[in-house]
A and B are shown apart, each in its own frame.
Chain A
């Protein structure tokens, strides 16, 4: 199993550009989520999904969209990049279903810089 795969590893965008961060998992996990990590701020939840076709907002959803058309994939879209979105982005998945929570498995992260 490859686990959680994120692409790209690094990205530089100009203000106003759009892009999609890809996330795929091959563990048949129902739960998937996106976090951003900034110095001193920990891991903040952007969006999450409890299964295909279902998405919901986390702590910091503004400026980001997600979709979950398949169990395996959970892309994160930046609609119009801003310097405040410069961060490291982690995708994570878990087997958790209906309150039976289990550990998150993280991807290797995407380092995004917006100039």
Chain B
């Protein structure tokens, strides 16, 4: 079955700098990779996703890249702002199940 590894578990960046979170997956049949943001006490919410036939996708300050050969994908947040502080989860969806990474707690420092 699918296994998703996420790094780092904690990340601190200065406001205005960029943040990068990386994930690897094990199931070569996985074809859909969403990223979720979870603020304290709230439910996870989708921020961006990418399908296996695409190498990169951007949405304003957020981008995701996918390397199918290496089985890894990354989330890039540019010009970070205080409201970017949250826990971010990557996930891989192949076959019937969507499996999440363990999450990255992102701190934006003033």
Query: Is A43 an interface residue when CB atoms closer than 8 A count as contact?
Result: yes
CA distance A51 to B5 in the complex (A): 28
Contacts between chains A and B (CB distance < 8 A), count: 50
- Distance A42 CA – B101 CA, assembled complex (angstroms): 6
Given A103-B46, A106-B43, A106-B44, the answer on whether A42 and B98 have CB atoms closer than 8 Å is no
Residue in A56, A104, A107 whose beta carbon sits within 8 Å of that of B98 in the complex: A104
Assess whether A107 is in contact with B44, with CB atoms less than 8 Å apart: no
Identify which of B9, B32, B42 gathers the most chain A CB atoms within 10 Å of its CB.
B32
Number of B interface residues at 8 Å Cβ cutoff, please give it: 22
The reply to whether A103 and B49 contact each other, CB–CB distance below 8 Å, is yes
Q: Is the CB of A43 within 8 A of B44?
A: yes
- Contact present for B98 and A109 (CB under 8 Å): no
The answer to whether A104 and B46 have CB atoms under 8 Å apart is: yes
Task: Give the docked Cα–Cα distance between A20 and B59 (Å).
Answer: 39
Q: Within 8 Å of chain A (Cβ to Cβ): is B81?
A: no
* Contact of A48 with B46 at beta-carbon distance under 8 Å, contacts A42-B103, A43-B89, A99-B31 already known: no
> When chains A and B are docked, how far (Å) is the Cα of A96 from the Cα of B31?
12
Across the interface, name the chain A residue whose C-beta is closest to B105. Answer: A40
How far does the alpha carbon of A48 sit from the alpha carbon of B98 in the complex, in Å?
10
Q: Give the dominant DSSP class at B's interface.
A: strand
- Nearest A residue (CB) for B43: A106
Query: Could you tell me how many residues of chain A have their Cβ less than 8 Å away from some Cβ of chain B?
Result: 25
Q: Is B102 an interface position by the 8 A CB rule?
A: yes
Does residue A12 face the partner (Cβ distance < 8 Å to B)?
no
Q: Which residues of B71-110 are within 8 A (CB) of A?
A: 89, 93, 95-103
By a beta-carbon cutoff of 8 Å, the part of chain B in contact with chain A is: 6, 9, 31-32, 34, 42-46, 49, 89, 93, 95-103
Question: What are 29 of the A-B contact pairs (CB < 8 Å)?
Answer: A33-B98, A35-B100, A42-B100, A42-B103, A43-B44, A43-B100, A43-B103, A44-B100, A45-B100, A48-B96, A48-B97, A50-B96, A56-B96, A58-B97, A90-B43, A90-B44, A94-B98, A99-B31, A99-B95, A101-B31, A101-B32, A101-B93, A103-B34, A103-B46, A104-B34, A104-B46, A106-B43, A107-B43, A109-B43
